[in-house]
Amino acid sequence: MTKLRPAGSLKQAVMQLIGGLGADAPGVAGKSLRRLHEWSDPDVADHPPVDVCLALDRAMRAQGLGTPMLDAYRLLVGMPPGGGLMEAMDALLVQLLIETGELAAEHRAAEADGVVCRVDRARILDQLADVRAKLDRIALALAEPGQ
């Protein structure tokens, strides 16, 4: 059963980080996935140290997924979250446009000689996978509660 975490709380932010960074979260935090889940548990009083919060937020920001810990701290001290979803969406949309342009370039290059061969199709499919990954990140950013 999923435990409810207050929107905008540090506990909810840790869950967002786990979801956003996936398998990379423990490495970024320098802690086990179990420890991250303990920090997200509303029944546990412990929170991640500031250096871990910063590392996790930096990793999220690098992927265009915002800064959930910073946003939670801002709410705790009575400040509105900074940027949040809009900032993340802007970065993700720029990345999506770049990937889409690269997909179009691969397609044009493949058709330049009038024949789309197996290698051309593989390159186009690889680029299409990159576009899909960016779309998935956008969907994840929109689906996260508390943003």
- Grouping H, G, I as helix, E, B as strand and the rest as coil, residue 14 is helix
User: Residue 102, exposed/middle/buried by CB under 10 A (0-12, 13-18, 19+)?
Assistant: middle
Helix axes 68-76, 50-62, angle to 10 degrees: 130
Q: Is the pLDDT of residue 23 over 50?
A: yes
Length in residues, the chain: 147
Q: pLDDT tens, 26-71?
A: 999 999 999 999 999 999 989 999 999 999 999 999 988 888 998 8
Amino acid at 133: A
d(C-alpha 35, C-alpha 26), whole Å: 9
Q: pLDDT tens, 89-143?
A: 767 777 788 888 888 888 898 999 888 899 999 999 999 998 898 888 888 777 7
